[in-house]
Structures are given as structure tokens and as C-alpha cells.
Amino acid sequence: MAILINNDGDCSQEWANHLQPHLPEYTLYCYEQLSNTDAIVEDIEYALVWNHPAGDLRRYPNLKAILILGAGTEHIDHDSTVPQVPIVRLIDPEMSRDMAQYALYWVMNTQRHYDTYRQQQLQHRWQRYPAAAAGDINVLIVGMGEIGTTIAEIFQWNGFVVTGWNRRPKEVTDIDCRFGFDTLEPALSEADAVVLCLPKNAHTIGFINRQRLAKMKPNATLINVGRGAVIDDDALREALDNETLDRAVLDVYSEEPLPSAAWYWQHPKVTVTPHMSGATYPRSAAKVIAANIRRIERGETPYPIHPHPAHIKN
């Protein structure tokens, strides 16, 4: 019994070191060190991958499942040759908490005027500004999956008014969760801060467009921790330049690393961070992955399953 590990060709040994204590009966092979002998290829039962070479996964005849070393799926969705075995996304509670803290920081940064005070320090200037109470600030979470739900709960615990929006119905205790496209624009118009937690797929590319940006408050902050492609870049720039949106905090982009010529870098109303809002930690994620492998071995369904586009029947 063996497990293949490939984290984009990087840090695979670290993953192996953290996984082995949880799965001692398995032999772990790092992809960059893998031999092509038939015996090893046939021994692979689980593939733990991120940005794995297209076409490679079909050469393991006894593969039981593919476990993604991250929350995103676009890298594997582009491979039409993926075998029809369960594909499992990684939802690590530590990563979700990191992303929630990231979003919370930037909302509080605006709420409490921290950037203004930093500038005043350089000027040796002493001036206070009134700050809105958390209970007077409406935060909209767009995309109420596992990560979006954690972000919503963190904001709620810190006293903010929280609204969740999802394409499909979702219930979260004590949080106003709306669903369906007819509820989205009214929710955008009420929000002081909008946190995007959307994946990249056929439904979400260009999701935040001119029409939806126009519904937002002129003093609102837009925070994106999902995928860069969900925002129409040109529409966002127009909204910021025309002062129909106050600020954008972006951690993800349509092209990464963000090119040096990208307008985001120098725009005074944009904060750029290098896709770091939520890190994947092998020390904690290994427990989640091992638990899913144990579920499969017991004949149970791992969580969360990702439906690969090539496996969905029309």
C-alpha cells in the first residue's frame, strides 16, 4: 500500500514527514523521487497532489482517491484524463482561521482608521477620529462554503453584523444567509465590507462585474481571498477611479505572481498581498488527509468531495 505526494514539486518530503505518523502502514513516495517501476506504480492507492502534471494520474491502476493539497481545484479541473475516483478537497481548519483573521484585520483597519494613524505618526500629528462600532458595520460574505462560513463566524463573534450569500441554500446558526442571484444585489447594497470567498469555475469568472460593483456603497471595502478571476479587473479599476468603491484588498489575482506592470501595485486604493491570506500547513492538514483516507478504507464518503467536470454526465 502506497501514497503518492506531489505539492507542485515542492515540500513533498515535509508532507511525508507529517503524514507518516498518521498512516504508518503506508509507504509514502514523493513524486519528484518516484521510480517508474511497475511494482511501485501498481502499489499507489492514494495521490496527494497540487498542480500535478496533466495525464499522470491515469497511470496508477489501483488508485482509490485523489486528495488535493489545497482548497482550489482549477489545476485538476483542467486535466480531462483524471481517473474516475473520488476527488477530495482539503479544508484545513487552521487555513480557514488564517483567512478569517486576514479579512477581519482589513475590515478593522478601515473601521478604526489604522492607516490614517500610521500616516499621522510620520507627520508627528495627533488627531483622533470617530470609529463606528462593530455592530454598526455590515459585512457580507460571498460564498458560504467551509472557508466562507468560518469567516462569517469569526466576524459574528467579534460583534459585526454578518450576512452570508451563497448560490445554493445554506444555513449557519445566527447568521442571515441568503441564496440565489435575486438576493445578491440587495445584499451588496447593504454591505460596508464585502469578502469574496468564491472558487474559480464557470459560474464565477467575472462574477463581480460593473453591474454588481455599482450596487455597492461608495464607502465600501472589497476583500478577495477566493480567486482573482471572480473580479472583472477593468470594472474594478473604474469603480475605484470613479469613487463608487472606496477600497479593494486583494490577495488573489487572475495571473500569479502578479506581473510588475499590473495596475494594482500602484493604485492608491488597492492593497496587494501575495496570496498569503491562508497558508496550508502540513502539520495540521496531514490529520485531515489521514482522516479522509481512513474514511475511504472504512467504506465511508470522504469530505468534501469535488465533482470533476469531466466526470459529470450531461
Whether 130 and 181 have beta carbons less than 8 Å apart is answered as: no
- Of the residues 52, 89, 212, 227, which is catalytic? 227
Nearest to 142 by CA among 113, 103, 174: 103
Question: CB-based burial of residue 287 (10 Å sphere; 0-12 exposed, 13-18 middle, 19+ buried)?
Answer: middle
What is the torsional sign of CA 27, 33, 39, 44? positive
**CA–CA separation, 148 vs 17, rounded Å?**
30
275: annotated active-site residue = yes
**CA–CA separation, 276 vs 264, rounded Å?**
16
- Of the residues 210, 275, 295, 306, which is catalytic? 275
Grid cell listed for 244: 463608487
- Active-site amino acid positions: 227, 275
